[in-house]
Amino acid sequence: MRSARALTSLGLATTAMLALAACSGGGAPESTPSDVELRMTVWTSNEDHLALFDSIAEAYMEEHPEVTDITFDPLPFEDYTSTVTTQIAGGSAPDLAWILENAAPDFVDSGALLPLDETLEGTDGYEFDDLSESATALWHDESGGLVAYPFSTSPFVTFANDDLLKAAGLPTSAEMQAAGDWNWESISEAGSAVHASTGKAGFVVRDFDYVTWDYLASVWNGWGAAPWSEDGATCTFDSDEMIGAFEFLHDAAFTKQSMPGPGTTADFFAGESAFTVTQISRASLLAGDFAWNLLPLPEGPEGEYSVVGQAGIGVLADSPNADAAAEFLAFFTNPENSEQLAQFFPPPRESQLNVDTLAATNPTLTPAQIEDVVIPGIEAGVTRPSHTDSAEIAQEVRGALDALWVPDADIPGTLEDVCTTIDPLLG
Amino acid sequence: MRTDAIARNSGPDAAAAQAAAVIARPVLDVDDALRDQRAPRDQRAGQGRGRPSPWRKVVLYGLLSVLAIPFVFPTWWMITSSFKPISQIFAFPPELWPSNPTLDGYVGAFTAQPFALQYFNSMYIAIVVTVGTMLFASMAGYAFARIRFRGQGILFLVVLTGLLIPAEVTIVPLFQMFNSWGMIDTHWPLILVSTFGAPSVLATFIMRQYFITLPVELEEAARIDGLGRWRIYWSIALPLSRSALAAVAIFTFLHVWNLYLEPTVYLQTPELFTLPQALTRYTDAYGGEMWNVQLAAATLTALPVLIVFVFAQKQFVEGLAQTGLKG
Amino acid sequence: MADATMTTPDRASARSGAAPTSDLASRRRKRPLLSYSTRDQLTGYLFIAPQFLGIVLFVLVPLVLIFWYSFNEWNVLAGTFRFVGTENFEKLMGDPKLAPVLQATGVFSAGLVVFNLGLALFLAVLLNRRVRGITVFRTIFFSPVVVSLVAWTIVWSFLLQDNGGINGLLQLVGIDGPNWLREGPTAMASVIVVQVFKNVGLNMVLFLAALQGVPSEVQEAARMDGASDRALFWRITVPLISPTILLTSIITIVGSLQVFAQIAVLTQGGPGISTTVLVYYLYQQAFDFHHFGYGSTLAIVLFAIVLVLTIAQWQLRKRWVFYEN
């Protein structure tokens, strides 16, 4: 932004209008190393999360008196990336930022993030090699440097409301699984029956809402589908696998009515649907008003599969306090703190991905659930789709997919249109 | 009518004024309309078709009542639903009255976001801009109407361009300008642009049109008494223009109170948000819905202004009648 | 205000400003440093300074800048700003979304004008009679104007959900309502209707004022000539209030080009891009995708449309001048 800002200032100086221009702040004042204030943008506003972050920050500031303040700045999740980007554009970039996996390529490729390898490796007791390769895959820049720490690798799982299933006279989720019926077809059948007999919703792909289509990755991976090729250059929305997945979803929404249709909202955690597919971290929303169960993703035609959502923490290279921020990040994610963070965010450290560590910090989940659902989910998980220009691709796909969410949709035709629309962006 | 007088002018001034008249018209005519309502009966001979028969009256009331539904029902539904628990909001059949009223939504409105602070932000920005606009627009309007200075017509034309360029056109460069001044994520862009930029031009125009109608004798007498321009403007012209100022105040306040694009672009910190922006941000930590909370916040946002309107409508109309400036 | 009290600014200022200067100067105890008219000129400049400088800084400078920006592009994350020549204009010409966006803008504006003016005139005619309680209805129809725009729109977004209040009411009478905001035609219609109910009160009041300005003698005369109520309305009343009709339609069109919050809350431009109007598209490009250069190019398009409408309005007014006298 520096050059843009200079140009604007130039244009204004020539018009020589108000004293206001003279008062302009320009850049942030040079902070002396003795008075460092750090700001990290996050998308959680959960009080327990923030309390934990604050306690880690307190501990850090005790050891590092030059850092006088560390704030965690919660931004709304729905337009988090856009807001952070606008902050960067608006000259008020944070020092550290959570980055969602779908925006990772934009941040990683632009050079906006500071490479972290040296700082992390150079920190005593950091155990840099403990970071799993699959967890960090998304966060390496062209030269192979790690530019963000993947603090959360959260598997997509299925939550079931057994009370609703019973009310509809159906077997519980555990019984379904035991009977070898834990697949999308059975879920859709059960969901349909629940909807017919209770009026509640069948299954909900949480946060999708017929807008945020990339959450459907938790479904289409069961069909072996992907939105684009590995290298991101070719659109594969029109593949047979993807068509199969969307035919299933369309059938569920409009024929079986096992999934709420567009414009209808149902919140699993308020007891309004029988199943939901979402990230494990949402377990914190369970209030205990109904009997629930945690299961892996249902099998698709391609068999078992799992999907993870990832989030990284990066240091903005342009920050005047970039080095101090990187050092704080090294502390924030050292083995002990990583273990604490693990109660909310499954860590990238191989040594901590075990039942003992996770069970100790996750009171809502049973050790069996962690062993059967969480750990295998993380280990085998395919990451949610990501690409450069993610905001624009997201918008274009969303727009093109709208044609699919009507009762008599041309599914293959619509998916072909999706590819036509986003091909120029992928290339 | 007012526009005729403008048409009789010549030169750029007239063209510009004509352009402005298009946009200024609604406001001016609202006063006219409201004042006419208060005019003595015999002066309103032109209106209506006399007294309708009782049968026609019933039809009229029936028709008006049906037509009123889409104007009343949303507000009614907003207020009543804000007292419902979240699971009842989309219950079928829809409830017209909450069967289990709860204040959860209202509590949530203040805990999920710094709502009181956001309310204060909206309120103080609207008041600062309204007062500022009343002052600067009346000053400019007074000068354009009553003082002769070189280049007046051209300068007025330049000011009027503000009416022809919607704020949406200039939002990108304004963002970059405020960015270069370090004013992003502050209230300055909202206050400065609304007070001095395009939105205030309408106010200047209204004030100018009003000051033009003041009798010259008032000023002459004041000048003989040795009053300077500022005193004439402040102690004589301004008090006489209460009705125009009231119109400016109401329209400026509503405009600023409703701003949405601008705060969305300029503000990023919840503590700095204004109400319209805050209303769209009621989602839980993971993007889940908080309908009852959102409706409670919407009710708190809408209701006070609505109540003020119901009372102020009367005040406003009577204020107009008392100024003795009937056509 | 009536014609009689109107004074042109020239005459007004001639009388109040220049003429009495000498007269006044002789009465002053102290001789001023500058002559009265010079001081008065200075005062004039000072009085308009805040407003004038504001317009230059916040309207004219940005207006010049959008032309400059449209020849450049940013990469916000990489922090680069570079000159790209006519790239943005080529992008505009080849943008497959431009045509649907302009079409949506046109449909929205046209739909809004027709429905808004039609309803406003209808309500004004209904309210234009001396019946007890009529002001209550006037207050009701006007009240959404003062309700916060976003609050109003959010409420409608709930009501228009598939399982929302509107379909709930329809279901009570046995109608299976459409999924208003998710199907192209009904989504556009919904956005228009929500906007009309919000603001129709303003135009209604304007029409009411115009109707009350129609001279009763003209109506009486026509009635004596045996004109029916309908003929009276279409042949006498409508022509007499036609300046108001023209003015309100232009205000409504220009206002419709600025609609943003309603789209953002109700449809986010969907389904597809069926409700993506120009301002919303501009916002998306500039502030969601951070293509500030292309956003500026779209701002030029918006500016051009407003300019053309303004010129067209000047031309139209010339022809309608008869009715204004």
pLDDT tens-digit readout, C68-105: 999 999 888 888 889 999 999 999 999 999 999 999 99
Query: Helices C292-319 and C61-69: crossing angle, nearest 10°?
Result: 130
pLDDT digits (tens, 9 = 90+) for C26-38: 444 555 566 777 8
Identify whether C85 is part of a domain. Answer: no
Shared domain check, A406 and A293? yes
Identify whether A12 is part of a domain. Answer: no
Q: Could you tell me if B162 lies within 8 Å of chain C, comparing CB atoms?
A: yes
Total number of domains constituting chain C: 2
Identify whether B171 is part of a domain. Answer: yes
- Chain B CA closest to residue A20: B181
d(CA B241, CA B139): 12
Shared domain check, C136 and C211? yes
Identify whether C116 is part of a domain. Answer: yes
d(CA C19, CA B65): 59
Shared domain check, A404 and A277? yes
**ipTM over 0.85 threshold:** no
Interface of B with C in 202-221 (CB under 8 A): 204, 208, 212-213, 216, 219-220
Interface test with A, best of C59, C76, C263 (most A CBs within 10 A): C76
Identify whether B90 is part of a domain. Answer: yes
Highest mean pLDDT among B286-290, B313-317, C307-311: C307-311
pLDDT above 50 (res B20): no
Q: What is the CA B293 to chain-centroid distance, rounded?
A: 27
Shared domain check, C37 and C146? no
Shared domain check, A339 and A212? no
CATH code where residue A166 lies: 3.40.190.10
Query: Helices B115-146 and B152-164: crossing angle, nearest 10°?
Result: 150
Identify whether C76 is part of a domain. Answer: no
Q: Residue C241 has what pLDDT?
A: 86
Identify whether B155 is part of a domain. Answer: yes
Separation in Å, CA of B120 to nearest CA in chain C: 15
Beta carbons of A82 and C163 less than 8 Å apart: no
Q: Residue A427 has what pLDDT?
A: 76
CATH code where residue B220 lies: 1.10.3720.10
Interface test with C, best of B57, B125, B168, B292 (most C CBs within 10 A): B168
Shared domain check, C49 and C100? no
C80 contacts B223 by C-beta, under 8 angstroms: no
Identify whether A104 is part of a domain. Answer: yes
Shared domain check, C101 and C8? no
Identify whether A328 is part of a domain. Answer: yes
Beta bridge mates, A293: A160
d(CA B173, CA C81): 14
**Parallel, antiparallel, or unpaired for β A36-42 and A96-100?**
parallel
Shared domain check, A340 and A249? no
Nearest Cα to C181, choosing from C208, C218, C213, C153? C153
Q: Which of A4, A263, A391 is nearest residue C182 as measured by Cβ atoms? A: A263
SS3 (DSSP) at B70: helix
Which regions of chain A are under pLDDT 70? 1-33, 361
Identify whether A7 is part of a domain. Answer: no
Shared domain check, A392 and A374? no
Total number of domains constituting chain A: 2
pLDDT digits (tens, 9 = 90+) for B155-176: 999 998 888 888 889 999 999 9
Beta carbons of C299 and B169 less than 8 Å apart: yes
Shared domain check, C147 and C20? no
Beta carbons of C287 and A86 less than 8 Å apart: yes
Identify whether C148 is part of a domain. Answer: yes
Shared domain check, C192 and C134? yes
What is the maximum alpha-carbon separation in chain A?
78
CA atoms A381, A385, A388, A392: torsion sign? negative
Identify whether B224 is part of a domain. Answer: yes
C227, with CB counted inside 10 A (0-12, 13-18, 19+), is middle
pLDDT above 90 (res B283): no
Identify whether B106 is part of a domain. Answer: no
Mean pLDDT of the region B20-31: 41
Identify whether C45 is part of a domain. Answer: yes
Q: Residue C32 has what pLDDT?
A: 55
**Which range marks the domain in which residue A324 is found?**
34-154+309-382
Strands (E), chain B: none
Shared domain check, C139 and C27? no
Identify whether A15 is part of a domain. Answer: no
pLDDT digits (tens, 9 = 90+) for B75-100: 999 999 999 887 788 777 777 788 88
**Average pLDDT across chain B, whole number:** 79
- Percentage of chain B lying above the pLDDT 70 cut: 77
d(CA C149, CA B276): 8
Identify whether A26 is part of a domain. Answer: no
Q: Which amino acid belongs to residue A262?
A: P
Q: Residue A290 has what pLDDT?
A: 92
Beta carbons of C16 and B68 less than 8 Å apart: no
- B11/C48: higher pLDDT: C48
SS3 per residue for B265-305: HHCCCHHHCCHHHHHCCCECCCCCECHHHHHHHHHHHHHHH
Identify whether C71 is part of a domain. Answer: no
Q: Where does the pLDDT of residue B4 fall: very low under 50, low under 70, confident under 90, or very high at 90 and above?
A: very low
Q: Residue B275 has what pLDDT?
A: 95
Shared domain check, C223 and C118? yes
d(CA A94, CA A71): 10
Shared domain check, C295 and C184? yes
pLDDT above 60 (res C11): no
Q: Which two tokens stand for residue B136?
A: 């600067």
**Which range marks the domain in which residue B244 is found?**
54-95+112-301
Identify whether A243 is part of a domain. Answer: yes
**Which range marks the domain in which residue C249 is found?**
94-324
Total number of domains constituting chain B: 1
C247 contacts B22 by C-beta, under 8 angstroms: yes
pLDDT above 50 (res B1): no
Q: Which residues contact B118 (CB under 8 A, 6 or more apart)?
A: B270, B271, B273, B274, B275, B277, B278
Q: Which of A21, A49, A90 is nearest residue B184 as measured by Cβ atoms? A: A90
d(CA A15, CA A9): 10
pLDDT above 80 (res B224): yes
Shared domain check, C286 and C155? yes
Separation in Å, CA of A264 to nearest CA in chain C: 6
Region label for C219, one of left (φ > 0), alpha (ψ between -120 and 50) or beta (otherwise): alpha
Q: Residue B287 has what pLDDT?
A: 53
Beta carbons of B180 and A77 less than 8 Å apart: no
Mean pLDDT of the region B183-203: 92
C262, with CB counted inside 10 A (0-12, 13-18, 19+), is buried
A100 contacts A69 by C-beta, under 8 angstroms: no
Region label for B182, one of left (φ > 0), alpha (ψ between -120 and 50) or beta (otherwise): left
**Average pLDDT across chain C, whole number:** 84
Helix (H) or strand (E) holding A7, with range, is helix A2-15
Q: Residue B51 has what pLDDT?
A: 59
Q: Which of B22, B72, B280 is nearest residue C250 as measured by Cβ atoms? A: B22
Shared domain check, C300 and C212? yes
pLDDT above 60 (res B133): yes
Shared domain check, A142 and A192? no
Q: Residue A15 has what pLDDT?
A: 43
Shared domain check, A291 and A261? yes
Identify whether A55 is part of a domain. Answer: yes
Q: Residue C321 has what pLDDT?
A: 46
Identify whether B323 is part of a domain. Answer: no
Please report which residue ranges of A90-149 form alpha helices under DSSP H. 104-110, 117-121, 133-136
Interface test with B, best of A86, A198, A208, A211 (most B CBs within 10 A): A86
What is the maximum alpha-carbon separation in chain B?
75
Interface of B with C in 34-53 (CB under 8 A): 34, 36-37, 44-52
Identify whether C195 is part of a domain. Answer: yes
Task: Enumerate neighbours of B (3 or more CB pairs within 8 A).
Answer: A, C
Shared domain check, A163 and A246? yes
Identify whether B308 is part of a domain. Answer: no
d(CA A56, CA A40): 13
Q: Which of A18, A82, A264 is nearest residue C57 as measured by Cβ atoms? A: A18
Shared domain check, A210 and A62? no
Q: Residue C229 has what pLDDT?
A: 80
What is the DSSP secondary structure assignment for residue B39, as one 8-state letter?
S
pLDDT digits (tens, 9 = 90+) for C197-245: 999 988 888 888 888 878 878 878 887 888 788 888 888 888 888 888 8
Compute CA distances C142 → A366, B125, C138, C197, whole Å. Answer: 59, 25, 6, 9
Shared domain check, C309 and C215? yes
Beta carbons of B279 and C148 less than 8 Å apart: yes
Contact list, B115 vs chain A (CB under 8 Å): none
Q: Residue C224 has what pLDDT?
A: 82
Q: Which of A5, A44, A92 is nearest residue B180 as measured by Cβ atoms? A: A5
CA atoms within 13 A on the CB side of A275: 31
Q: Residue C131 has what pLDDT?
A: 81
Shared domain check, A319 and A205? no
Q: Which amino acid belongs to residue A118?
A: E
Q: Residue B286 has what pLDDT?
A: 53
What is the DSSP secondary structure assignment for residue A160, as one 8-state letter?
E
Supply angle C-alpha C83, C85, C87, rounded to 5: 110
Shared domain check, A403 and A351? no
Beta bridge mates, A98: A313
Identify whether C31 is part of a domain. Answer: yes
d(CA C207, CA C212): 8
Identify whether B324 is part of a domain. Answer: no
SS3 per residue for chain C: CCHHHCCCHHHHHHHHHHCCHHHHHHHCCCCCCCCHHHHHHHHHHHHHHHHHHHHHHHHHHHHHHHHHHCCEEEECCCCEEEECCCHHHHHHHHCCCHHHHHHHHHHHHHHHHHHHHHHHHHHHHHHCCCCCCHHHHHHHHHHHHHCCHHHHHHHHHHHCCCCCHHHHHHHHCCCCCCCHHHCHHHHHHHHHHHHHHHHHHHHHHHHHHHHHCCCHHHHHHHHHCCCCHHHHHHHHHHHHCHHHHHHHHHHHHHHHCCCCHHHHHHCCCCCCCCCCCHHHHHHHHHHHCCCHHHHHHHHHHHHHHHHHHHHHHHHHHHHCHHHHC
Query: Helices B291-322 and C134-142: crossing angle, nearest 10°?
Result: 130
Shared domain check, A392 and A279? yes
- A371/C19: higher pLDDT: A371
